[in-house]
Amino acid sequence: MYQVGNLVKELSDKHGRARESLMPILQGIVEKHNYLTDEAMVEVARELDISAAEVYGTASFYTFLDTSVRGKYVIRVCKTITCSMKGKAEIIQTLEDMLKIKVGETTSDKMFSIVETNCIGWCHKAPAILINEIPYTELTPEKVVEVIKGYMQKKIITGTHGEKRAK
Amino acid sequence: MIKLTINDQSISVPAGTTVLAAAKKLNINIPTLCNHPDLCVAGICRVCVVEQTGARTLIASCAMPVSEGMDIHTNTLKVRNARRHIVELLLSEHRSDCTKCYKNQKCELQALANEYAFGDTVFLSLVEDHKYNIDRSSPSFIKDDSKCIHCQRCVRTCAELQSVSAIAVANKGAHQKISSFLDRPMSHVVCTNCGQCVNRCPTGALVEKTYIDQVWDAIYDPEKHVVVQTAPAVRVALGEDLGYDPGERVTGKMVTALRQLGFDSVLDTDFTADLTIMEEGTELLTRLKKILVDGNKELALPMFTSCSPGWIKFIEHKYPEFLSNLSTCKSPQQMFGALAKTYYAQKRKIDPAKIVSVSIMPCTAKKYEADRPEMRASGFKDIDYVLTTRELAVMIKQAGLDFRSLESSNYDSIMGDSTGAGVIFGATGGVMEAALRTAYEIVTGREIPFKNLNITPVRGMDGVKEATVKIEGCTDDWKFLEGAELKVAIAHGLVNANKLMKEVRAGKSPYHFIEIMACPGGCIGGGGQPIPTSMEIRKNRMKAIYAEDEHMVLRKSHENPDVIAIYKEFLGKPNSHVSHELLHTHYTERDSY
Amino acid sequence: MGKKGLSKVDLIFEKVDPKEVLTKAFKMTSDGIIKEMLDSGLKGRGGAGFPTGLKWKYTAAEKEPVKYIVCNADEGEPGTFKDREILDKVSYKVYGGMAIAGKAIGARNGIVYLRGEYRFLLPQLMKELESFHKMISEIGYDFKINYCLGSGAYICGEESALFESVEGFRGEPRNKPPYPTTSGVFGKPTSINNVETLVTTMMIIKHGAAKFTELGTKDSRGSKVFSVSGDTPTPGIFELELGMTVQEFVNEFGDGDTKAVQVGGASGFCVPRKKFQNTIIGFEGVPTGGSMKLFNSSRSMYNVLHNYLDFFVEESCGQCTPCRVGCQQLLKGVEKVKKGEVKSTYLNELIKLADTMKIASKCGLGQSVGNAFRTIVENFREEIIY
């Protein structure tokens, strides 16, 4: 487990403790630790001198600021119309079969979560997903298997835009 | 001035006035829900939409400032249809069990439905689609999400008036809801139980937890001796729930009503308010002496009052490092509770196990306070049930009493006597004024030099008030205070308390003694008082409190004959060993979320 | 018929020397820049189509010493992805547009609000921003841009919701007035412009308003970047002159079986085949922020509508009644009609509800849910029912 207090303090020092620092701080926590734990939100509330309900209320407004458990790799499958027309269902099915979890769940080794998300701006290359921030597009079930396998084997998997993941 | 027309009537109003306010000046009623006179504008329920000639959409009159030449119509077909839709939409996500609802006939949504949405339901019910939660965890109130119409009055109340934000808006879209931190039970978050949200909830989503049935059971139980105490602020507000205008005093009728309801003894919290002054005044003077003369480093100044249970929970959560600054005095309610099952029981020769102690309070936090584990000094639960002013009004109606025609009567004896000093506990600044009336006299042997004992600097509705009292001509015991300037401050509404506390924390607070009440206006604006509330209503209640004081023969706590008697017969002297056992308490640090 | 037909343009992605354009702009007066924008007839490219020159004029007129120029890069409208491409390819022109706007309104600070979904672009954008800051300081001009990152909330594309988000709150739209030009981000006068708009302003400065007005129609000047997707053999990003009809568009991008085009995304309008000929894409017909989705006859318009409503049910901020509850009612209503659990005439009630949402919702989101609803239900009623 990470020292949430230290991270929050570090992020608060970096972004400041005014209200407008809340989003960057929460984003920073999610970037490092996949989701916002209860403890992290309490720490943020303390640093910024706002109520924990306010922190939770703000975080829960934003889809990417997850407040429930998420794995190291959050797979966001676009479900909006074009991706939906072009095979989103098969992509989800493939992911669910491969990872043995349902949408909204996280693998027991805390490596992967599958969630659905609204339009991510790749309609011309549907269907599309994001793995953390990296987009993968024009997917087929075969291609998805390849990408996820790559992540599992800690290989370099280049996203649509050229960003690489080597973990 | 800005000139505009509303429903073809011309009016000029100052710039910045809303269309809603301008319409009101013309006696044109526009329905509202999310709007509340104590809170900032939200513009979210959309019930107040009106038509502006030339505008693409309807406008929310509560949020729209007037502009020159504006032409407004409040009752067109377009407006009526939109309003009907909006009310129908609210009803479609609201669990409308009106006949069983505690807010039946006091519900603003129900009133609007009656006006705009009677007849066939237009839309499908969404109630089953939502997994609504009903939170009964707090001893003070119930949060029933199935009744919530998302007007956010509660959220704004908790943030703007109380600076607590125990609840906030969470999630978005269809899942948007009013939530505590992670939707935890209200008993497990920073909520102070002040009930200000309850006062402002338009529906049954936030209501006090009621103990009316339990009290009736006790009354009808021949084995039980049921005593009731009434807080100072109840008598100036109860009337509002029984057809009187705000600010009408109904003390005598209330006492009669309580007797007719079947309480065995009708007593007055004012008595223990006076007792509080003796204990707390002595505590303050002793603290000053120990710090100023004896050089005690452990005791702290400023000393804070401790009568307001909402404030106590607030400081326990938010400023626990200052718990030693709190007076150790219990609140008048709890002093009364501890004495009812000891002193009173002995005097009346009643087995304390058979006493049921009920208090009528303007407050929801008092329900929580009575449940605190430390409040069992008598060997029993000191206060068995706390009812709000509103619940008492319900009982009076249930009993079929014609309140207006009741004769006035007086409180019973033993813990029924009071002074004007006890009465003014009900308004912000009242505890301070009562304390000063007594403390000054203890120290100097003379009355405090204010005309008619009215210490006006500590009165009124300013959020933070302060005063300096120069102490001159001290008696021998108090010579060390000669020439000293006692600096005091008063805050009401936790947002103001928070301001003072920030100064204290920053080491910038010059005060010796600070009175804090959790609710706006003090107890007269308490979370258990009749609904609706507004500054105007609270001011009327406040006026009534001071009128009650002026009408009392005795106006200083130390002159209360029951108080003199109890020290002589039972307690010894203020801050005695017995006092400490029964009338003083301690506090608990709590989580800050 | 469209006056112009379909013609491709290369303005937005055209390579320019930013230093040269900005040097020219900084030599102009504030009034001069604003006049150029007014003369160009440029309307905002985010979808709402407010005249850019007017927005700048109002903001410039405010006396407040601190003002902001905000770039709205919260491109969330389903079917729109052109801002991503613009930022990816020519971010220096976005920054340049912001600096020009800053000069026009008297702002020294710019904020780019980038949607969280585009976070992968950020390292590259920051690098390019660094070069930009260096370049304008070489010109001797004081202007600083910061990034704010969204976290997945469609509504934050609404200007006042975006401000709330920048300030660290839930992205809930504010009451208007006051408008952003008077009280925007941090309560200061703010001009908030779409990514593409800002690039266009830079190109107007470069080429002059007169050249710009040669393109497009009276109501819709210039060209526009379109995001084309759905049932098309050539999905992608295309810059086209404004003024074409939907038919002309379909002729170019359709797959020969196009039955409907959704213009302007989920909050836009559905144009059925029978109206292709007579519908102009632009402010005189169907306005769009660039989203163009084609549907062929294999698609169920019920599914399309259901998908859009699902989207709004989730993405409504939830504060105002018509939008929060209305969206749920529309969705549940069409589901029940489809299942035959309520009469098909219930659709008429739902259309009335959509009309109420249009006039009674607090912000543009709720006000525009009815666009897709009405145009799909009216044109494809049988597909909704059966």
**In angstroms, rounded to a whole number, what is the distance separating the alpha carbons of residues C309 and C266?**
8
**In angstroms, rounded to a whole number, what is the distance separating the alpha carbons of residues C181 and B396?**
57
**In angstroms, rounded to a whole number, what is the distance separating the alpha carbons of residues A160 and A78?**
15
Among candidates C329, A146, A24, C68, which has minimal Cα distance to B91? C329
Residue C181: which domain range?
18-213
Judge if C266 and C229 occupy the same domain: yes
pLDDT at B267 over 50: yes
Among candidates C205, C224, C202, which has minimal Cα distance to C4? C224
> What is the DSSP track for B318-373?
H-GGGGGGB--BPPHHHHHHHHIIIIIHHHHT--GGGEEEEEEES-SHHHHHHHST
Judge if C190 and C331 occupy the same domain: no
Average pLDDT of chain A, as a whole number: 95
Can you say how many angstroms the Cα of residue B542 is from the centroid of all Cα atoms in its chain?
Answer: 13
* The domain made up of B2-90 is a member of CATH 1.10.1040.50: no
CA distances in angstroms from C191 to B585, C59, C99, C167, listed in the order given: 58, 6, 12, 16
* B165 contacts on A by Cβ (under 8 Å): 50-51, 53-54
Judge if A141 and A106 occupy the same domain: yes
Judge if A149 and A100 occupy the same domain: yes
- Of C213, C234, C249, the residue at which a domain comes to its end is C213
pLDDT at B27 over 80: yes
In a domain, A122, yes or no: yes
Judge if A41 and A115 occupy the same domain: no
* B80 contacts on C by Cβ (under 8 Å): none
Judge if A158 and A134 occupy the same domain: yes
Facing C227 at nearest CB: one of A62, A80, A124: A124
Strand A73-78, strand A112-117: pairing? parallel
**In angstroms, rounded to a whole number, what is the distance separating the alpha carbons of residues B375 and B261?**
27
* A85 contacts on C by Cβ (under 8 Å): 230-231, 299
Q: What is the pLDDT of residues A58-78, one digit of tens each?
A: 999 999 999 999 999 999 999
CATH number at residue C279: 3.10.20.600
Among candidates C255, C276, C254, C202, which has minimal Cα distance to C45? C202
> What is the DSSP track for B2-47?
EEEEETTEEEEE-TT-BHHHHHHHTT-----SS--TTS-----S-T
Give the per-residue pLDDT at C6: 86
Neighbours of C207 (CB within 10 A): 16
Domain ranges of chain B: 2-90, 100-119+126-208, 222-271+333-405, 277-330+418-583
- Of C248, C265, C294, the residue at which a domain comes to its end is C294
**Sole residue written with tokens 């029912």:** C385
Judge if C35 and C65 occupy the same domain: yes
Helices (H) and strands (E) in chain C, counts: 14, 9
- State how many domains chain A has: 2
Phi then psi for B520, rounded to 5 degrees? Answer: -60, 125
DSSP reduced 3-state for B288: helix
Give the per-residue pLDDT at A100: 98
Token pair listed for B221: 């139980």
CA angle, corner C325, sides to C319 and C329, nearest 5? 160
The amino acid that residue C251 corresponds to is: N
**In angstroms, rounded to a whole number, what is the distance separating the alpha carbons of residues B443 and B228?**
35
Average pLDDT score over residue span A128-152 = 97
**For each of chain C's 386 residues, which pLDDT tens digit applies?**
345 578 999 999 999 999 999 999 999 999 999 999 999 999 999 888 899 999 999 999 999 999 999 999 999 999 999 999 999 999 999 999 999 999 999 999 999 999 999 999 999 999 999 999 999 999 999 999 999 999 999 999 999 999 999 999 999 999 999 999 999 999 999 999 999 999 999 999 999 999 999 999 988 999 999 999 999 999 999 999 999 999 999 999 999 999 999 999 999 999 999 999 999 999 989 988 899 999 999 999 999 999 999 999 999 999 999 999 999 999 999 999 999 999 999 999 999 999 999 999 999 999 999 999 999 999 999 999 99
Residue A161: which domain range?
73-166
DSSP H helices, B372-406, are: 389-398
Average pLDDT score over residue span B442-463 = 95
The amino acid that residue A25 corresponds to is: I
* The domain made up of B222-271+333-405 is a member of CATH 3.40.920.10: no
In a domain, C2, yes or no: no
Residue in A closest to B177 by C-alpha:
A57
Judge if C88 and C120 occupy the same domain: yes
The amino acid that residue C273 corresponds to is: R
- CATH says B100-119+126-208 is which class? alpha beta
Judge if C205 and C320 occupy the same domain: no
Average pLDDT of chain B, as a whole number: 97
> What is the DSSP track for C258-325?
EEEEEESGGGSEEEEGGGTTT-BBSTTSB--SSEEEEEETTS-HHHHHHHHHHHHHHHS-S-SHHHHH
Judge if C239 and C165 occupy the same domain: no
Average pLDDT score over residue span B289-310 = 92
CATH number at residue A116: 3.40.30.10
Write down the architecture of domain B277-330+418-583 according to CATH. 3-Layer(aba) Sandwich (3.40)
Helix axes C364-379, C321-339, angle to 10 degrees: 20
pLDDT at B431 over 90: yes
pLDDT at A167 over 70: no
Facing B180 at nearest CB: one of A45, A53, A67: A53
Catalytic-residue membership of B327: yes
CA distances in angstroms from C157 to B589, C75, C327, listed in the order given: 43, 7, 18
8 A C-beta contact, residue B356 and residue B385: yes
Judge if A92 and A47 occupy the same domain: no
Judge if A148 and A114 occupy the same domain: yes
Does the predicted model carry a pTM greater than 0.80?
A: yes
Enumerate the β-bridge partners of residue B72: B6, B52
Residue in A closest to C171 by C-alpha:
A61
> What is the DSSP track for B182-212?
GG--GGGSS-----HHHHH-SSTTEEEPP-H
In a domain, A109, yes or no: yes
Enumerate the β-bridge partners of residue B492: B517
8 A C-beta contact, residue B111 and residue B98: no
Average pLDDT score over residue span B36-55 = 98
Average pLDDT score over residue span B249-276 = 98
DSSP reduced 3-state for C148: strand
Phi then psi for B118, rounded to 5 degrees? Answer: -75, 165
Q: What is the pLDDT of residues A7-49, one digit of tens each?
A: 999 999 999 999 999 999 999 999 999 999 999 999 999 999 9
Q: Tell whether B152 lies on the interface with C, counting CB pairs under 8 A.
A: yes
**In angstroms, rounded to a whole number, what is the distance separating the alpha carbons of residues A117 and A131?**
12
CATH number at residue C325: 1.20.1440.230
Chain C interface mutation, best of B2, B46, B86, B125, highest count of C Cβ atoms under 10 Å: B46
Question: Checking phi first, is residue B489 left (phi over 0); if not, alpha (psi -120 to 50) or beta?
Answer: beta
Give the per-residue pLDDT at A155: 86
Q: Is the dihedral of CA B23, B29, B30, B31 positive or negative?
A: positive
Give the per-residue pLDDT at C1: 39
Average pLDDT score over residue span B417-442 = 96
Q: What is the pLDDT of residues B115-143, one digit of tens each?
A: 998 888 899 999 999 999 999 999 999 99
In a domain, A66, yes or no: no
Judge if C354 and C369 occupy the same domain: yes
Cis peptide preceding B532, ω within 30 of 0: yes
- Of C267, C294, C321, the residue at which a domain comes to its end is C294
State the catalytic residue, choosing from B283, B433, B515, B559.
Answer: B283
CA angle, corner C363, sides to C362 and C364, nearest 5? 145
Facing B90 at nearest CB: one of C325, C332, C367: C325
**In angstroms, rounded to a whole number, what is the distance separating the alpha carbons of residues B514 and B431?**
10
Give pairs for A138-147: CB < 8 Å, separation 24+. Answer: A139/A87, A139/A91, A140/A87, A140/A90, A141/A90, A141/A91, A141/A93, A141/A94, A144/A91, A144/A94, A144/A95, A144/A98, A145/A94, A145/A98
Judge if C201 and C84 occupy the same domain: yes
8 A C-beta contact, residue B306 and residue B322: no
Judge if A154 and A100 occupy the same domain: yes
Phi then psi for B464, rounded to 5 degrees? Answer: -125, 125
Give the per-residue pLDDT at C2: 43
Token pair listed for B528: 């258990």
Cis peptide preceding B302, ω within 30 of 0: yes
Helix axes C52-61, C82-105, angle to 10 degrees: 40
State the catalytic residue, choosing from B115, B321, B374, B569.
Answer: B374
Q: Tell whether C169 lies on the interface with A, counting CB pairs under 8 A.
A: yes
In a domain, A21, yes or no: yes
Looking at the predicted complex, does its ipTM rise above 0.90? yes
Token pair listed for B580: 């400490």
Average pLDDT score over residue span B64-71 = 98
8 A C-beta contact, residue B90 and residue C325: yes
Judge if A81 and A39 occupy the same domain: no
8 A C-beta contact, residue C253 and residue C230: no
Catalytic-residue membership of B148: no
- State how many domains chain C has: 3
Facing A51 at nearest CB: one of B168, B172, B182: B168
**In angstroms, rounded to a whole number, what is the distance separating the alpha carbons of residues B144 and B590?**
25
**Sole residue written with tokens 């049930």:** B385
**In angstroms, rounded to a whole number, what is the distance separating the alpha carbons of residues B195 and B193?**
5
8 A C-beta contact, residue A67 and residue A60: yes
**In angstroms, rounded to a whole number, what is the distance separating the alpha carbons of residues B199 and B388?**
12
Average pLDDT score over residue span B216-221 = 98
